[in-house]
Amino acid sequence: MAATIKDIRAETGLGLATISKFLNGGNVRSENRQKIEEAIRKLDYHPNETARSLVTKRTRTIGFVVNNIASNFSGVLLQHASAYLHDRGYGMMICDSNLDEKQEAESIRFCVEKQVDGILLIPVSKDPSSLSFAEKGGIPVVLLDRELESDAFDCVIIDNVSAAERATDYLISCGHRKIAVIYSGEYTGSERFKGYMESMRRAGIDIPDQYMFAGRTHSTELGYNSMKELLKLEDRPTAVLSTNYEVSLGVIMALNEAGVKCPQDISLIGFDELILPMVMNPRLTLVAQPMEDIASEGARILLQRIEEGKKYPPQKVSLYAALKEGESVRKLSKL
């Protein structure tokens, strides 16, 4: 039979109130803490989390609703968030929106019905109404990587506009003026497109319509098909800004298939320091998002909301994404 709190009382001689306080995260005298911890190890005691949640009104579970679980980017954020939460005694329940707004709303409702203590969300929709069910349930939500059309929620992002500006500025500093861009209509893609446009405007560079490729979502297919079209142009770009990791994969596939060499024939800058830069030859120049910081900062803010229970204005944390110079950008003679 599994050990109970009464067995710990018999083993330690302490009162149930002291033992319960310790098990629920309260402070007890050091000598009492030592007695309880020794008893727990000896008796192989495991708390009844269901019973505990009825008392504390907490499940110590965080819902993580991701926009696309197949994405390498989402997987890395999940890994870092899970490690941060585990170290602080929380578990994680993962739901995949599969790039579908309706499924995202259903996933949020599911998390609320499962009585999670809080929700981390990489949103698909820009509409904050999908979070109304969490708001009504008093469950805090922290957004990762993207904002909504509302400033009512905590969020942790990078400054996507300035990150794309730096990448485009770098291409221009290397003598490139024929610079194409591949992006999506999603939040990160549209923000990075703004940065590209601002850099090109500031440099006084006209952009042909055929140098700009947009898709509904970031995907390998978007990168592959866009690069195929760029390679058909009589006046090809000398450089391409790829605004997403999956897009970069597709771009590299198209270049390899066509026998086009990077950077000799065309230069490339991508986003995210994941697997591709480690295996690509030449090494990819990229904008490296601070993945661990995004996940851990989001989890930290969420636990602060849960454990302190204080009402204060939503926090917007914008992290810096560094440009990491590789070998995929050719330096041209400047005009």
Task: Put the strands of the sheet holding 212-215 in their side by side order.
Answer: 212-215, 179-184, 239-242, 267-271, 285-288, 322-324
Cα–Cα dist 10/81, whole Å:
39
State whether the Cα torsion 168-169-173-175 is positive or negative: positive
Residue 310: its pLDDT value, please? 67
Cis? peptide before 263, omega within 30° of 0: yes
Give per-residue pLDDT as tens, 236-250: 999 999 999 999 999
Side chain identity, residue 320: Y
Cα–Cα dist 109/87, whole Å:
27
Cα–Cα dist 162/320, whole Å:
9
Q: Is residue 315 helix, strand or coil?
A: coil
Question: Hey, do 61-158+291-319 and 160-289 end up sharing a CATH topology, with the first three levels equal?
Answer: yes
pLDDT at 178 over 90: yes
Tokens at 68, concatenated = 């696309």
What is the average pLDDT value for the chain, to the nearest integer? 90
Tokens at 16, concatenated = 């149930």
pLDDT at 186 over 60: yes
Give me the CATH code for the 61-158+291-319 domain, please: 3.40.50.2300
Which uninterrupted H or E stretch holds 9? helix 5-12
Residue 163: its pLDDT value, please? 97
Domain ranges of the chain: 5-56, 61-158+291-319, 160-289
Residues 6 or more apart in contact with residue 163 via CB below 8 angstroms? 192, 195, 271, 287, 289, 321, 323
91 bridge partner residues: 61
CATH architecture of 5-56: Orthogonal Bundle (1.10)
Tokens at 261, concatenated = 């060499």
Phi, psi of 143 (to 5 degrees): -90, 140
For the residues 96-113, what does the mean pLDDT come to? 94
Cα–Cα dist 115/126, whole Å:
24
Other C-beta atoms closer than 10 Å to the C-beta of 261 total 12
For the residues 184-203, what does the mean pLDDT come to? 95
Give per-residue pLDDT as tens, 265-276: 999 999 998 887
Residue 44: its pLDDT value, please? 81
pLDDT at 51 over 60: no
Residues making up the chain, counted from first to last: 335
Residue 47: its pLDDT value, please? 65
Residue 334: its pLDDT value, please? 57
Q: How confident is the model at residue 57 (pLDDT cuts 50, 70, 90)?
A: low
Residue 1: its pLDDT value, please? 62
The residue among 16 and 114 whose pLDDT is bigger is 114
Cα–Cα dist 118/186, whole Å:
25
Give me the CATH code for the 160-289 domain, please: 3.40.50.2300
Tokens at 221, concatenated = 């297919």
Write the CA distances from 263 to 54, 97, 178, 230, 325, integer angstroms. Answer: 61, 37, 14, 15, 13
For the residues 56-85, what does the mean pLDDT come to? 90
For the residues 249-263, what does the mean pLDDT come to? 96
For the residues 126-134, what does the mean pLDDT come to? 87
**Helix 160-173 crosses helix 187-202 at what angle (to 10 degrees)?**
40
Asked which of 22-26, 53-57, 196-200 is least confident by mean pLDDT, the reply is 53-57
Burial code (b: 16+ CB inside 10 Å, e: under 16) for 105-139 equals bbbbbebbeeebbbbbbbbbbeebebbebbeeeeb
Tokens at 325, concatenated = 């110079």
Residue 54: its pLDDT value, please? 44
Residue located via tokens 């690069």: 227
Give per-residue pLDDT as tens, 21-36: 787 667 788 888 888 8
For the residues 169-196, what does the mean pLDDT come to? 96
CB 306 within 8 A of CB 118: yes
Residue 155: its pLDDT value, please? 96
Tokens at 31, concatenated = 């000598």
